[in-house]
Amino acid sequence: MFLHKQALQYTAKPEKPDAVYARKLQEVIGGQYGEITVAMQYSFQAWNAHIPGKYRDLLFGTAAEEFGHVEMLATMVAQLLEKAPLGITEKAIQNDPAVAAVIGGTDVQDAIVAGAGARPVDSNGNPWTAGYVTASGNLLADFTSNINAEMQGRIQVARLYHMTDDPGVRDLLSFLLARDTMHQNQWVAAAKELQAEGIESLPAPSNFPIKKEHRDASYQYINFSDGKAAAEGSWAKGDSPDGLGQFTYIDTPPEGVPMPPPTHPDARFFGTTELPNVMEKMAGTVQDKLHRE
Amino acid sequence: MFLHKQALQYTAKPEKPDAVYARKLQEVIGGQYGEITVAMQYSFQAWNAHIPGKYRDLLFGTAAEEFGHVEMLATMVAQLLEKAPLGITEKAIQNDPAVAAVIGGTDVQDAIVAGAGARPVDSNGNPWTAGYVTASGNLLADFTSNINAEMQGRIQVARLYHMTDDPGVRDLLSFLLARDTMHQNQWVAAAKELQAEGIESLPAPSNFPIKKEHRDASYQYINFSDGKAAAEGSWAKGDSPDGLGQFTYIDTPPEGVPMPPPTHPDARFFGTTELPNVMEKMAGTVQDKLHRE
Amino acid sequence: MFLHKQALQYTAKPEKPDAVYARKLQEVIGGQYGEITVAMQYSFQAWNAHIPGKYRDLLFGTAAEEFGHVEMLATMVAQLLEKAPLGITEKAIQNDPAVAAVIGGTDVQDAIVAGAGARPVDSNGNPWTAGYVTASGNLLADFTSNINAEMQGRIQVARLYHMTDDPGVRDLLSFLLARDTMHQNQWVAAAKELQAEGIESLPAPSNFPIKKEHRDASYQYINFSDGKAAAEGSWAKGDSPDGLGQFTYIDTPPEGVPMPPPTHPDARFFGTTELPNVMEKMAGTVQDKLHRE
Amino acid sequence: MFLHKQALQYTAKPEKPDAVYARKLQEVIGGQYGEITVAMQYSFQAWNAHIPGKYRDLLFGTAAEEFGHVEMLATMVAQLLEKAPLGITEKAIQNDPAVAAVIGGTDVQDAIVAGAGARPVDSNGNPWTAGYVTASGNLLADFTSNINAEMQGRIQVARLYHMTDDPGVRDLLSFLLARDTMHQNQWVAAAKELQAEGIESLPAPSNFPIKKEHRDASYQYINFSDGKAAAEGSWAKGDSPDGLGQFTYIDTPPEGVPMPPPTHPDARFFGTTELPNVMEKMAGTVQDKLHRE
Amino acid sequence: MFLHKQALQYTAKPEKPDAVYARKLQEVIGGQYGEITVAMQYSFQAWNAHIPGKYRDLLFGTAAEEFGHVEMLATMVAQLLEKAPLGITEKAIQNDPAVAAVIGGTDVQDAIVAGAGARPVDSNGNPWTAGYVTASGNLLADFTSNINAEMQGRIQVARLYHMTDDPGVRDLLSFLLARDTMHQNQWVAAAKELQAEGIESLPAPSNFPIKKEHRDASYQYINFSDGKAAAEGSWAKGDSPDGLGQFTYIDTPPEGVPMPPPTHPDARFFGTTELPNVMEKMAGTVQDKLHRE
Amino acid sequence: MFLHKQALQYTAKPEKPDAVYARKLQEVIGGQYGEITVAMQYSFQAWNAHIPGKYRDLLFGTAAEEFGHVEMLATMVAQLLEKAPLGITEKAIQNDPAVAAVIGGTDVQDAIVAGAGARPVDSNGNPWTAGYVTASGNLLADFTSNINAEMQGRIQVARLYHMTDDPGVRDLLSFLLARDTMHQNQWVAAAKELQAEGIESLPAPSNFPIKKEHRDASYQYINFSDGKAAAEGSWAKGDSPDGLGQFTYIDTPPEGVPMPPPTHPDARFFGTTELPNVMEKMAGTVQDKLHRE
């Protein structure tokens, strides 16, 4: 159950309008690594969790915070758009290249569709899609996905920080950066704890009977490019991080095996085969073609 | 530059046809964590890399292997479909519930669109989309994304392993599981090496001036759900993994700040405001409405 | 700000597993008119609202309930999948057509991707997309969108009610039907209240200067099909609902105006024009083509 | 059957080129509430209709008009693009910020993909998708969807009206505004007529046995946010619009019921559980892991 | 302008219900090469055409027919669904594997969303998207796209023909096959006529100054795979079809040129570089990190 | 199997940065007819091919080249972005309309998401989707699709050529134009060869028993628009290109057949029917409604 409170976790107030920046900020609302993604991802991970207790509480506790981040950013976007030029005709300024330039950089749907409002889309206007969400039921994999999401999100916020001078916007971003720092750290800690407790380990999933995999190939770096430097990395020799093998480096991919012969499905799929197929052979000439059954 | 070789890295030959399983296997071709995703992701990460040498070579060397995995799986799918019932009418068997059941579980586009061929889609027929790809230019974040991709991919292959008894299919999957084990290990090793070399560290991006973030909030677990167990985790107290702070646990979210007042954009966006807006007030009665300017 | 509570608004417990039904239920989680849509739609309408007070509170108060509905349904789906056959091989039953039939009707990604978990997708596995959301800033239009969403949603739940005999599932659906009844009624009431208070009226947006529209065409039913029965409807004569006009019925569309001549953009867009364009005319023969500038 | 006539319903001729505006106009061609949406929506509602006569004729008669609106707008877009700067290099003007600003605001695919032509996309270049269409077979719900579509559409046209000074463009928009006024009115009239005739009533679907819904919850406004003003609305007390109940206001959501315990699906889905699962427990140490079956 | 006539071009009446087949038939309504695609494609090609006369008339004349094909197929789908089992509970038959098998093969949204109606989606339930449409303004290219669309469409209809025994369905398909035959032929004829009239020729676009292309590479088959058989084709030697060159065969791709060095964008994009960047170097130790600017 | 070589097929080096142009160039990376499309399309055609030998080798040999084209273009995009203004704040230039204009025309995700890197998207930021790919198993149809793809691709490159003055960019484009010329020619040659060898012929699929199609309609041009000029084309009279018929011209579409009556599915789909349905009739008055079963 979710309860809403008409307050923001942190101040979200720009000093001045900036519709171009509002568009950019939509990336961290409705982009691949925006706040909608993490809010939905943590929620579905919690709903699909198979254990009660600290890990599921961690998911629920963070998910709800992220919905509140969507709210802070949407509120910020609406204010950035509030008094900004958005294309409504003003003869005086319409011919001003500076104004035209600004409007050219805005998201025109913010004006046409939302009437100077926020939308659940990214900075190019692509609608948010649940195709971004990861919730496999395996917590080691999912927490790794979460570490990545918080890293990508923090990188984007850091870039956005340097794309504005507005102190109000920067103040909110400095708060979001801090929360991303926390969330990166917490998912790293949780992933370690899962392993320390022996619940999951590398390679994920750790409870698949490892003998069933083709162990000869489990620690070989096979170099399918012609660069030579990959041989210098820690992935080319020494112990593997899962503690179960030794890396080796193979500079030239093995020969491989012959491709199987091409398939020949039922003739009624009308694929192209070597010889005209049976029906066709029976058909004979063009005139026959018209009369064949 | 890519060169193609008419051989497969490993044998891909089913013992018998199975169109339902062919559909399932498409998940690891064209799904969110299928082989197309990793092939494209590692390629774009290499093209966006800012450093030559071992890390970029690792990306290139693995990317090309993954394109070959798409090929092995597509070849397998085509063979699984080759002699399977796919809905082409055969009076004798069409009334057999067992056959109908099988056909009901297939991807009908494999038959109608591809003529018993493989397609770049997932197991529900959703076309692969580049929205799955991550390539930020920050290698610590991107390698973490790669670890996750290999984990999710290996989990899916492990599940698929238990969804068939076909020894030919299982043989290929046992090879893919091994390569996923290698790739998980290699990205973990590479992420560690980046940090050991002092190139990147937590929190990513590590070269954003950390003083600019709101440090008070950087290590607080704030519990937005009412479960109590998250307090027991390693994310609730002690050193944070980035080595820069101490976790604290806050059981009840702070009060927050008041929401800013609602926005009032230009009246010509025709949003609903408290009072009929200026134009409306001038308009008076319904009859006036017809004559107003 | 959103707070989460580890409780459900209403019991969500199936009597027995049913993976096929789980798939169907995903329609009202992640479909066009599923609970994610209304939760996100009411949230963005609230964030884009231009007036504080009862209408915005109504939006916030309902939005949070809808996130809780997503949770109840996701929980239900996970339980329906928990003990159901999902394709994991069991030699004994794998050859049973009844079992095959069931598995054929499931969402295979529920098994392969989510490990028997819920996902933010519809009953065909299409990921939820923010393209479903409406939040224009005009409350009369948006509340009408909400009435429609609650109607479509309740129709789908009513259909789903008749697709199961499970008393636990039906119990939850009977609760959701009731809430949809409430929400239909509340948005109808709110839309009426907006009009009674003189804030908005038909046609929306009501504060666009109506004289600027081509009033001759504002109340004509123009019959672009050849059925005659539309002339019998209340939209063909009498007062229009907006109180500003009289409907008329036009059985045959007017002649219209000639299409403008085709466009001739810059030749360097290489569109096909009547005569080979200037460059081409200068080029002369085929040999010239090779040497032209 | 559809017949095409080489004429436009109304004049569509701009006074001067304007590629930025052409992009904006694409919203009402290929956007969520553009003309393609209503043309397709009314068509599918007609094809799915279960009754002949006035309602179906109304759907057919309006659908065909909307296809003609797509045509008028596409024609207008092509003309707006015809002589506009679209990025083709002209050294003289390329360095002019005013020109660059204009080009920056255009849809670059209008030039690169369509050669200065119209496309079935919205103003951000998102391709039109059938995910926008509603056709449930229930006419009260579908007509409500139509009212909303015409409201959203008219709001967008009204906004677009104020984004241009071109008298030719405004002339076409004034015609479209009028038709949207008609269509809003007609769907309102049709929805009322359905109810007056006793065919459908609130709550939709009206023929679901209402006793089967959890009637205790059918008229309660439950306040999941902490605003107090929703208590003042007509949805908080008094008769409900469906005539079947009395609204009540519940300021604090009831406690709810405990969440069901987390699910424990088959171990071969490799989800994370409390204790290492059976396979894992049998496996013992790391070395065992390598040899386990 | 489009006018609708309440008649079908050809009889569309199945002998008996078949919901599984209804789903399959949706491929040719709303799939990549379904009737919506060609109807919209020919319409946009006509609206973007730069010449009046026979070619544009051909586009308009065929576009309108295709909208009528959508109608015939939607009508057929609705009838195939009308009396078919769609999951509504009937205790007697629900336990019958044959019935379960049938229902498992249906599109569940046909029931849940459309109430036994047709939808603008493909046979996997993917909504039709305008991303399928081609309309470049160059008629030789676009007519080639049309030939392909009619070929793919006819192949799919031919496959569907063999997936049913219903004489009513087959009768409609036999008509559609004939129209696809016509449309293939007409676009081939039109493409030839464009070339015979000297309006367009190979390579398209034919009026790009061909000297500006790197002519050395214009007729080389470069073999990027290791198969040898491509050397036997007509593309490996002899005159090229455009009449402007001679094919040659290059068995091994040339060495190529070195890749340019990796890019080094502004440090504030936080990409990973060889050496910790300037900010980082200034930062010094971990403690410094906390105090740096 | 694919092998990667760290070299480019041709030089890809711009003379100067140009972020706006980088965005445009993305069209031919990740657009409908970009290099990803052809690389994936030729690969899947090869994997679905039913014959070994020259046609399949041609597909493999070209597919791998196209992956290399993606690489050249991605490399070019990264360099175009490397030193370009991308929105990072520089007080001095931020107020310069010329700079603002430039930034307004860039793809903001190139900066925010990719850190000045290339992405698998089109020039409007739409992610590449496998919905663009065609691989039917019928080589005549698929080669025709390939001709079209190379035509559309070459048209787009030709337009892009005229949108820049950068000699480095133009040099690469001149190479790509040449390869598109080759590829157009090769697919035309291959399609002819298939027919010359008697493997496939018009109409595709040529081995569907043509007598089963409704031959009366196979060569009729039926004019569903009111233009008269289509009668002048070669598709209106004379031999059809398939050599099997004679074109005829029908100026007015035949009357057609009556539409079948509307469908009446199970009442529990809650569609709207003429009379309130059985349940409803039993229900009686509003009060009854509350008590009905």
**What is the 3 state secondary structure string of chain E?**
CEEECCEECCCCCCCCCCHHHHHHHCHHHHCCCCHHHHHHHHHHHHHCCCCCCHHHHHHHHHHHHHHHHHHHHHHHHHHHHHCCCCCCCCHHHHCCHHHHHHHHCCCHHHHHCCCCCCCCECCCCCECEHHHCCCCCCHHHHHHHHHHHHHHHHHHHHHHHCCCCCHHHHHHHHHHHHHHHHHHHHHHHHHHHHHHCCCCCCCCCCCCCHHHCCHHHCCEEECCCCCCHHHHCCCCCEECCCCCCEEEEECCCCCCEECCCCCCCCHHHCCCCCCCCHHHHHHCCHHHHHHCC
Choose among D7, D86, D152: nearest Cβ to C134.
D152
Judging contacts by C-beta atoms under 8 Å, the chain C residues touching residue A128 are 129-130
And the tokens for E230?
Answer: 């491509």
Average pLDDT score over residue span A232-246: 98
- In angstroms, the CA E28 to CA E164 distance is 15
CB of C89 less than 8 A from some CB of A: no
Average pLDDT score over residue span C57-82: 98
Chains A, D: CB contacts under 8 A, how many?
Answer: 153
- Testing the interface with B: which of A181, A201, A246 to mutate, by most B Cβ within 10 A? A181
Within 10 Å of residue E13's Cβ, how many Cβ atoms? 16
Closest CA to F218 of F245, F197, F237: F245
CB-based contact F163 D111, cutoff 8 Å: yes
Q: Which residue of A has its CA nearest to E271?
A: A155
Q: Which residues of F264-282 are buried (b: 16+ CB within 10 A; e: fewer)?
A: bbbbbbbbbbeebbeebee
Closest CA to E255 of F5, B4, F60: F5
pLDDT in tens, D235-261: 999 999 999 999 999 999 999 999 999
> Is it the case that residue D170 has pLDDT exceeding 50?
yes
> Is it the case that residue A141 has pLDDT exceeding 70?
yes
- In angstroms, the CA D104 to CA D97 distance is 10
Sorting pLDDT into bands at 50, 70 and 90, what band is D285? low
Tell me what percent of the residues of chain D surpass a pLDDT of 90.
86
Closest CA to F178 of F150, F149, F144, F147: F150
pLDDT in tens, F3-49: 999 999 999 999 999 999 999 999 999 999 999 999 999 999 999 99
Judging contacts by C-beta atoms under 8 Å, the chain E residues touching residue C283 are 207, 209
- Residues in CB range of B287: below 8 A, 6 or more apart: none
CB of D228 less than 8 A from some CB of B: no
Tell me which residue has tokens 């001003």. A96
Q: Which residues of E206-238 are buried (b: 16+ CB within 10 A; e: fewer)?
A: bbbbbebbbbebbbbbbbbbbbebbbebbbbee
pLDDT in tens, C249-262: 999 999 999 999 99
- Residues in CB range of E70: below 8 A, 6 or more apart: D43, E29, E34, E35, E36, E39
The partner residues of A222 in beta bridges, in order of sequence, read A250
Sorting pLDDT into bands at 50, 70 and 90, what band is D221? very high
Burial label for F16, CB within 10 Å (0-12, 13-18, 19+), is middle
> Is it the case that residue E282 has pLDDT exceeding 50?
no
- Is pLDDT larger for residue C243 or for residue F276? C243
CB-based contact B109 E123, cutoff 8 Å: yes
CB of A164 less than 8 A from some CB of F: yes
- Testing the interface with B: which of E93, E272, E281, E289 to mutate, by most B Cβ within 10 A? E272
> Is it the case that residue A115 has pLDDT exceeding 70?
yes
> Is it the case that residue A254 has pLDDT exceeding 70?
yes
pLDDT in tens, B67-91: 999 999 999 999 999 999 898 876 6
Which pLDDT does position B80 carry in this prediction?
97
CA distance E34 to chain B (A): 11
Which pLDDT does position C93 carry in this prediction?
55
Which pLDDT does position B292 carry in this prediction?
45
Average pLDDT score over residue span F55-71: 98
Burial label for C168, CB within 10 Å (0-12, 13-18, 19+), is middle
Chains C, D: CB contacts under 8 A, how many?
Answer: 382
Contacts of F among chains (3+ CB pairs under 8 A): A, B, C, D, E
Sorting pLDDT into bands at 50, 70 and 90, what band is F291? low
Sorting pLDDT into bands at 50, 70 and 90, what band is B101? confident
> Is it the case that residue D134 has pLDDT exceeding 50?
yes
Within 10 Å of residue C109's Cβ, how many Cβ atoms? 23
Judging contacts by C-beta atoms under 8 Å, the chain E residues touching residue C94 are none
Cis bond upstream, residue A203 (ω within 30): yes
> Is it the case that residue C291 has pLDDT exceeding 60?
no
> Is it the case that residue B287 has pLDDT exceeding 80?
no
Q: Which residue of E has its CA nearest to D138?
A: E115
Average pLDDT score over residue span A4-26: 97
Which pLDDT does position F282 carry in this prediction?
46
Contacts of C among chains (3+ CB pairs under 8 A): A, B, D, E, F
The partner residues of A104 in beta bridges, in order of sequence, read none
Choose among B159, B268, B269: nearest Cβ to D269.
B159
CB of B129 less than 8 A from some CB of F: yes
Choose among A155, A159, A269: nearest Cβ to E159.
A269
F residues 180-219 lying closer than 8 A (beta carbon) to D: none
- Lowest mean pLDDT of B284-288, D4-8, D27-31, D34-38, name the range: B284-288
Sorting pLDDT into bands at 50, 70 and 90, what band is C285? low
CB of B89 less than 8 A from some CB of E: yes
> Is it the case that residue A191 has pLDDT exceeding 80?
yes
Rg of chain A taking only CA atoms, in angstroms: 28
- What kind and span of H or E run contains C125? none
Distance of CA F120 to CAs B44, C123, E134, F27, F36, Å? 8, 29, 20, 9, 8
Query: Could you tell me the pTM of the whole model?
Result: 0.96
- In angstroms, the CA A16 to CA A7 distance is 22
Helix H segments across chain F?
A: 19-25, 27-30, 35-47, 54-82, 91-94, 97-104, 108-112, 139-161, 167-196, 278-283, 286-291
Average pLDDT score over residue span F58-80: 98
CB of B4 less than 8 A from some CB of A: no
Choose among F61, F147, F219: nearest Cβ to E185.
F219
DSSP structure string for F128-173: PBGGG----S-HHHHHHHHHHHHHHHHHHHHHHHTT---HHHHHHH
Closest CA to E47 of F4, F279, B263, D67: D67
- Angle between the C167-196 and C54-82 helix axes, to the nearest 10 degrees? 170
Which pLDDT does position C96 carry in this prediction?
76
Closest CA to F137 of C256, E151, A285: E151
And the tokens for B84?
Answer: 């399977």
Sorting pLDDT into bands at 50, 70 and 90, what band is C209? very high
Closest CA to F153 of E259, B2, E145, E225: E145
CB-based contact B118 F44, cutoff 8 Å: yes
Sorting pLDDT into bands at 50, 70 and 90, what band is A93? low
Choose among A3, A113, A207: nearest Cβ to D224.
A3
pLDDT in tens, C34-53: 999 999 999 999 999 999 99
Average pLDDT score over residue span F116-136: 98
Using alpha carbons only, give the angle D1, D7, D11 rounded to the nearest 5 degrees: 130
Which pLDDT does position D278 carry in this prediction?
44
Burial label for A157, CB within 10 Å (0-12, 13-18, 19+), is buried
CA distance A15 to chain C (A): 19
Judging contacts by C-beta atoms under 8 Å, the chain A residues touching residue F87 are 24, 163
pLDDT in tens, E136-150: 999 999 999 999 999
Which pLDDT does position C94 carry in this prediction?
57
Q: In a 3-state reduction of DSSP, which class is residue C246?
A: strand
Sorting pLDDT into bands at 50, 70 and 90, what band is D275? low
Which pLDDT does position B88 carry in this prediction?
87
Distance of CA C287 to CAs C272, C284, C291, E242, Å? 22, 8, 7, 12
- Lowest mean pLDDT of B265-274, C87-96, D110-119, E121-130, name the range: C87-96
- Yes or no: say if D34 and E130 are a contact pair by the CB < 8 Å rule: no
Choose among F2, F125, F209: nearest Cβ to A124.
F125
Sorting pLDDT into bands at 50, 70 and 90, what band is C202? very high
pLDDT in tens, E208-230: 999 999 999 999 999 999 999 99
Within chain A, strands assigned E span 2-4, 7-8, 220-222, 238-239, 246-250, 257-258
Choose among A57, A185, A227: nearest Cβ to B60.
A227
Sorting pLDDT into bands at 50, 70 and 90, what band is B198? very high
Q: Which residue of F has its CA nearest to C154?
A: F270
- In angstroms, the CA E23 to CA E106 distance is 6
- Testing the interface with E: which of B106, B108, B140, B219 to mutate, by most E Cβ within 10 A? B108
Chains B, E: CB contacts under 8 A, how many?
Answer: 152
> Is it the case that residue B291 has pLDDT exceeding 90?
no
pLDDT in tens, D193-216: 999 999 999 999 999 999 999 999
Chains C, E: CB contacts under 8 A, how many?
Answer: 154
CB-based contact B155 D270, cutoff 8 Å: yes
Choose among C6, C9, C57: nearest Cβ to D225.
C57
Which pLDDT does position A89 carry in this prediction?
77
Its ipTM equals: 0.94
Which pLDDT does position A275 carry in this prediction?
62
Choose among D1, D53, D207: nearest Cβ to F253.
D1
Average pLDDT score over residue span D223-234: 97
- In angstroms, the CA D104 to CA B62 distance is 38
- Yes or no: say if B58 and A234 are a contact pair by the CB < 8 Å rule: no
Which pLDDT does position C64 carry in this prediction?
98
Average pLDDT, chain D: 93
C residues 55-84 lying closer than 8 A (beta carbon) to E: none
CB of F52 less than 8 A from some CB of A: yes
Burial label for C124, CB within 10 Å (0-12, 13-18, 19+), is buried
> Is it the case that residue D36 has pLDDT exceeding 90?
yes
Contacts of E among chains (3+ CB pairs under 8 A): A, B, C, D, F
pLDDT in tens, F177-214: 999 999 999 999 999 999 999 999 999 999 999 999 99
CB-based contact E272 B3, cutoff 8 Å: no
Which pLDDT does position D94 carry in this prediction?
57
Which pLDDT does position E196 carry in this prediction?
96
Average pLDDT score over residue span E234-244: 97
- Testing the interface with C: which of E96, E142, E193, E207 to mutate, by most C Cβ within 10 A? E207
Average pLDDT, chain B: 92
- Residues in CB range of D218: below 8 A, 6 or more apart: C178, C179, C181, C182, D244, D245
The partner residues of E7 in beta bridges, in order of sequence, read F258
pLDDT in tens, F206-264: 999 999 999 999 999 999 999 999 999 999 999 999 999 999 999 999 999 999 999 99
Half-sphere exposure of residue B233: CA atoms within 13 angstroms, side-chain side: 33
Which pLDDT does position F256 carry in this prediction?
96
